[in-house]
Structure 1
């Protein structure tokens, strides 16, 4: 998902870029300090999504959004502003969401899930057979992503766990999360990535902390409190 950030405040652009760095399937392809410069990025980079401030010198964010309405492939728009008074105008130009500064990670996570359902992420132009290369002692084997229960990182090694066996992989979790973005994996901890259909239980374990029971796995998996709310939303009907 290609994203452009248009905001006249450098700190706000940096904050948004930092927060978006948590989503490996999203890429910031450009940023601008005004709507006029943002229009150049839209025409040259063709982003899928705009994170757009409203109050800017010259053309406002709402003016830019209105100007884009007749584009054949117009980007989805998320207004990111310090002013709550423009919400009605924002939705008149079919904005996906309206985020208030300072940005909250939980709200951004909900926005990103909404965008993911609207913007087609992939498939790649030259898709592979869709198997993951892993190490099994002295040989390389290929595992189907749908067979992976969970993935975790320990020290400098990544482990790929299936119901039958545990393999090792040289890639860090962030890269694996990007490779597996079209499968229902979810980051529950900085060191753990779980395939949601295999989750059987969410067990309280201390103050705001949980553990997961995954089908076919003996060990319990830790869930960081930052991920609990979104995890429950993803798991529940």
Structure 2
């Protein structure tokens, strides 16, 4: 399959370099079907023509790349998004938006080829019906597939490109998004931080700390202790009221 790619960058030279690199890529190959110098041009293009992948800069005049990625997610059939930027500090936000990959400029051809392969796998996954049972997660690890019961999961934590699935026995790496898991299992997990969900049944205590906490948080704040694991997870101020309600038994 040859991926149809839209380039979005306000710098013409940056778009030209990406076009040249894409011409040298294979397995999968890619062809540039459009270019845009700012967000509205990109949205207009996507409204008129389908594509498989958007290579997207972050810092642009007007709507930036992060907000554009949010808009792309709302499309009926959104393409894969790979950020291409000179700034590495936005990686966590990018993967919160379910970006397939995050490349820093100057982009190397081999690194771009890896991103294309990820985009192709992402497109294939969108076209296939879900294969996970409603009470299991499918974990792919070193050529094998393991079914992990959701009831065994103590917490889920976003780690840039992947989600760590922690059970009482071990940790697994899950190729998916935290927001998707939260929407699929709202009765089983509660959010404690923008990068973490914990199993309601595993909540042992909500505790205040004053710096140097087991969760690695600095300064004063809150963290949760969980049944079955020694790790403690930091609790954000935004999630604290809802979590208090769960711990006190007020949640469903």
TM value normalised by structure 1 = 0.49
TM-score w.r.t. length of structure 2: 0.46
